[in-house]
Amino acid sequence: MAARRRSEKEAKLPSGFTITRELPPGRHPLLAAFPDLGRLEAAGRLEPDSAARTRLFEETCVQVVEQDVWMYVAPHSLPKAMRRRWKPHVSPGSDCIVVGAEHLKESPALILYLDIFHELCHIRQRQAGLELFDRSESYVRRPTEIEAYRFAVEEARRLGVSDEVLRDYLRVEWVTEDELLDLFKSVGVSPAST
Protein backbone atom coordinates (compact mmCIF):
# COMPACT_ATOMS: atom_id res chain seq x y z
CA MET A 1 0.00 0.00 0.00
CA ALA A 2 2.99 2.32 0.36
CA ALA A 3 2.93 3.61 -3.21
CA ARG A 4 -0.62 4.94 -2.85
CA ARG A 5 0.20 6.91 0.30
CA ARG A 6 2.31 9.50 -1.44
CA SER A 7 1.77 13.19 -1.87
CA GLU A 8 -1.55 14.89 -1.86
CA LYS A 9 0.03 18.25 -1.10
CA GLU A 10 -0.84 19.69 -4.49
CA ALA A 11 -4.55 18.81 -4.19
CA LYS A 12 -7.15 20.93 -2.47
CA LEU A 13 -9.89 18.56 -1.44
CA PRO A 14 -13.49 19.75 -1.72
CA SER A 15 -14.85 21.61 1.26
CA GLY A 16 -17.10 19.21 3.14
CA PHE A 17 -15.16 16.03 2.39
CA THR A 18 -14.60 14.37 5.75
CA ILE A 19 -13.54 10.92 6.83
CA THR A 20 -14.41 9.05 10.02
CA ARG A 21 -11.06 7.31 10.31
CA GLU A 22 -11.68 5.39 13.53
CA LEU A 23 -14.66 3.29 12.50
CA PRO A 24 -14.41 -0.13 14.13
CA PRO A 25 -14.47 -3.28 12.00
CA GLY A 26 -17.98 -4.14 10.88
CA ARG A 27 -20.75 -2.79 8.69
CA HIS A 28 -21.62 0.90 8.73
CA PRO A 29 -23.68 3.27 6.61
CA LEU A 30 -21.56 4.87 3.88
CA LEU A 31 -22.25 8.30 5.32
CA ALA A 32 -20.95 7.21 8.73
CA ALA A 33 -17.54 6.70 7.11
CA PHE A 34 -17.74 9.69 4.75
CA PRO A 35 -20.23 12.21 6.17
CA ASP A 36 -21.82 14.60 3.64
CA LEU A 37 -20.29 12.70 0.71
CA GLY A 38 -23.59 12.84 -1.15
CA ARG A 39 -23.60 16.63 -0.99
CA LEU A 40 -20.30 17.11 -2.81
CA GLU A 41 -20.23 18.30 -6.43
CA ALA A 42 -18.59 15.01 -7.41
CA ALA A 43 -21.68 13.17 -6.15
CA GLY A 44 -23.81 15.17 -8.57
CA ARG A 45 -21.46 14.32 -11.41
CA LEU A 46 -21.55 10.65 -10.46
CA GLU A 47 -25.37 10.54 -10.18
CA PRO A 48 -27.14 13.59 -11.63
CA ASP A 49 -30.64 12.46 -10.55
CA SER A 50 -31.08 13.73 -6.99
CA ALA A 51 -33.51 10.98 -5.88
CA ALA A 52 -31.22 8.26 -7.25
CA ARG A 53 -28.23 9.99 -5.65
CA THR A 54 -29.97 10.07 -2.27
CA ARG A 55 -30.74 6.34 -2.54
CA LEU A 56 -27.16 5.56 -3.60
CA PHE A 57 -25.62 7.34 -0.65
CA GLU A 58 -28.20 6.25 1.92
CA GLU A 59 -28.46 2.58 0.91
CA THR A 60 -24.78 1.81 0.31
CA CYS A 61 -22.80 0.61 3.29
CA VAL A 62 -19.13 0.15 4.09
CA GLN A 63 -17.66 -2.94 5.65
CA VAL A 64 -14.48 -2.13 7.55
CA VAL A 65 -12.20 -5.17 7.62
CA GLU A 66 -8.88 -5.94 9.27
CA GLN A 67 -7.35 -7.36 6.06
CA ASP A 68 -4.64 -5.43 4.23
CA VAL A 69 -6.88 -4.10 1.44
CA TRP A 70 -7.81 -0.74 -0.02
CA MET A 71 -11.42 -0.70 -1.22
CA TYR A 72 -13.59 -2.91 -3.37
CA VAL A 73 -17.25 -3.54 -3.99
CA ALA A 74 -18.32 -6.67 -2.14
CA PRO A 75 -19.66 -9.24 -4.59
CA HIS A 76 -23.20 -10.47 -3.98
CA SER A 77 -21.79 -13.99 -4.28
CA LEU A 78 -18.27 -15.30 -4.71
CA PRO A 79 -17.39 -15.54 -8.42
CA LYS A 80 -16.43 -19.14 -9.26
CA ALA A 81 -13.24 -18.11 -11.04
CA MET A 82 -11.99 -16.38 -7.91
CA ARG A 83 -12.77 -18.93 -5.22
CA ARG A 84 -9.23 -20.25 -4.91
CA ARG A 85 -7.26 -17.04 -4.86
CA TRP A 86 -9.50 -14.34 -3.45
CA LYS A 87 -11.51 -14.44 -0.26
CA PRO A 88 -13.56 -11.25 -0.41
CA HIS A 89 -16.25 -10.14 1.94
CA VAL A 90 -19.54 -11.14 0.28
CA SER A 91 -22.68 -9.04 0.65
CA PRO A 92 -25.73 -10.83 -0.77
CA GLY A 93 -28.52 -8.50 -1.75
CA SER A 94 -26.98 -5.22 -0.63
CA ASP A 95 -24.48 -2.74 -1.98
CA CYS A 96 -21.43 -2.68 0.22
CA ILE A 97 -17.96 -1.22 -0.23
CA VAL A 98 -15.26 -3.03 1.68
CA VAL A 99 -12.47 -0.89 3.09
CA GLY A 100 -9.38 -1.98 4.97
CA ALA A 101 -9.18 -0.51 8.48
CA GLU A 102 -5.57 0.57 7.95
CA HIS A 103 -6.42 2.21 4.63
CA LEU A 104 -9.25 4.14 6.27
CA LYS A 105 -7.09 5.21 9.22
CA GLU A 106 -3.82 6.05 7.50
CA SER A 107 -4.16 6.74 3.78
CA PRO A 108 -4.12 10.34 2.58
CA ALA A 109 -7.53 11.94 2.23
CA LEU A 110 -6.98 12.39 -1.52
CA ILE A 111 -6.55 8.63 -2.01
CA LEU A 112 -9.67 7.86 0.02
CA TYR A 113 -11.61 10.49 -1.91
CA LEU A 114 -10.62 9.00 -5.26
CA ASP A 115 -11.13 5.43 -4.05
CA ILE A 116 -14.62 5.97 -2.66
CA PHE A 117 -15.84 7.62 -5.86
CA HIS A 118 -14.20 4.88 -7.94
CA GLU A 119 -16.10 2.26 -5.92
CA LEU A 120 -19.36 4.21 -6.01
CA CYS A 121 -19.01 4.25 -9.79
CA HIS A 122 -18.86 0.44 -9.60
CA ILE A 123 -21.99 0.34 -7.42
CA ARG A 124 -23.86 2.36 -10.06
CA GLN A 125 -22.54 0.06 -12.80
CA ARG A 126 -23.74 -3.03 -10.97
CA GLN A 127 -27.12 -1.43 -10.34
CA ALA A 128 -27.32 -0.87 -14.12
CA GLY A 129 -26.78 -4.59 -14.67
CA LEU A 130 -23.08 -4.62 -15.54
CA GLU A 131 -20.77 -7.43 -14.43
CA LEU A 132 -17.97 -6.08 -12.23
CA PHE A 133 -15.90 -9.26 -12.06
CA ASP A 134 -15.86 -10.18 -15.75
CA ARG A 135 -12.79 -12.37 -16.26
CA SER A 136 -13.06 -12.36 -20.08
CA GLU A 137 -11.08 -9.10 -20.11
CA SER A 138 -7.94 -8.21 -18.22
CA TYR A 139 -8.46 -5.90 -15.24
CA VAL A 140 -7.15 -2.83 -17.08
CA ARG A 141 -9.30 -3.47 -20.16
CA ARG A 142 -12.62 -4.03 -18.40
CA PRO A 143 -15.01 -1.25 -19.41
CA THR A 144 -16.21 -1.01 -15.79
CA GLU A 145 -12.66 -0.37 -14.51
CA ILE A 146 -11.86 2.11 -17.27
CA GLU A 147 -15.03 4.08 -16.52
CA ALA A 148 -14.41 4.10 -12.76
CA TYR A 149 -10.76 5.09 -13.14
CA ARG A 150 -11.69 7.80 -15.66
CA PHE A 151 -14.12 9.24 -13.15
CA ALA A 152 -11.41 9.24 -10.46
CA VAL A 153 -8.86 10.81 -12.83
CA GLU A 154 -11.31 13.54 -13.86
CA GLU A 155 -12.03 14.31 -10.22
CA ALA A 156 -8.32 14.40 -9.43
CA ARG A 157 -7.71 16.82 -12.30
CA ARG A 158 -10.48 19.10 -11.01
CA LEU A 159 -8.51 19.19 -7.77
CA GLY A 160 -5.26 20.07 -9.55
CA VAL A 161 -3.57 16.68 -9.19
CA SER A 162 -0.61 16.10 -11.52
CA ASP A 163 -0.08 13.13 -13.80
CA GLU A 164 2.85 12.13 -11.58
CA VAL A 165 0.52 11.66 -8.62
CA LEU A 166 -2.10 9.98 -10.84
CA ARG A 167 0.49 7.49 -12.14
CA ASP A 168 1.26 6.63 -8.54
CA TYR A 169 -2.44 6.33 -7.70
CA LEU A 170 -3.13 4.00 -10.65
CA ARG A 171 -0.22 1.69 -9.82
CA VAL A 172 -1.59 -1.42 -8.13
CA GLU A 173 0.30 -4.62 -7.42
CA TRP A 174 -1.94 -6.92 -9.45
CA VAL A 175 -1.14 -5.38 -12.85
CA THR A 176 2.04 -5.63 -14.91
CA GLU A 177 3.95 -2.59 -16.17
CA ASP A 178 2.56 -3.13 -19.69
CA GLU A 179 -0.99 -3.33 -18.32
CA LEU A 180 -0.37 -0.17 -16.32
CA LEU A 181 0.69 1.65 -19.49
CA ASP A 182 -2.55 0.45 -21.13
CA LEU A 183 -4.52 1.86 -18.20
CA PHE A 184 -2.68 5.20 -18.40
CA LYS A 185 -3.60 5.43 -22.08
CA SER A 186 -7.24 4.43 -21.47
CA VAL A 187 -7.79 7.07 -18.81
CA GLY A 188 -5.67 9.85 -20.37
CA VAL A 189 -2.72 9.89 -17.97
CA SER A 190 0.64 10.45 -19.59
CA PRO A 191 3.30 7.83 -18.91
CA ALA A 192 6.38 8.91 -17.00
CA SER A 193 8.91 10.74 -19.13
CA THR A 194 12.10 8.82 -19.75
Is the torsion defined by CA of 146, 4, 110, 184 positive or negative? Answer: negative
Q: How far is CA 93 from CA 61, 125, 153, in A?
A: 12, 15, 30
Q: Considering the chain, what is the average pLDDT of its residues? A: 87
Does any domain span residue 193?
no
- What's the average model confidence in pLDDT over 171-190? 83
Q: How many whole angstroms separate alpha carbon 143 and alpha carbon 130?
A: 10
Does any domain span residue 20?
yes
Does any domain span residue 67?
yes
Percent over 90 (pLDDT), the chain: 58
Question: Does the pLDDT at position 85 exceed 70?
Answer: no
Longest dimension (CA), the chain: 48
> Pick the residue with more confidence: 68 or 109?
109
* Number of structural domains in the chain: 1
Q: Enter the pTM of the model.
A: 0.89
In this prediction, residue 86 carries a pLDDT of 66
In degrees, rounded to 5, the angle at the alpha carbon of residue 37 between the alpha carbons of residues 97 and 116 is: 35
Question: Does the pLDDT at position 83 exceed 70?
Answer: no
Question: Does the pLDDT at position 79 exceed 80?
Answer: no
Does any domain span residue 113?
yes
Q: Residue 160: which domain range?
A: 2-177
Which residue in 13, 156, 148, 182 sits closest to 73, CA to CA? 148
Does any domain span residue 183?
no
> Pick the residue with more confidence: 53 or 189?
53
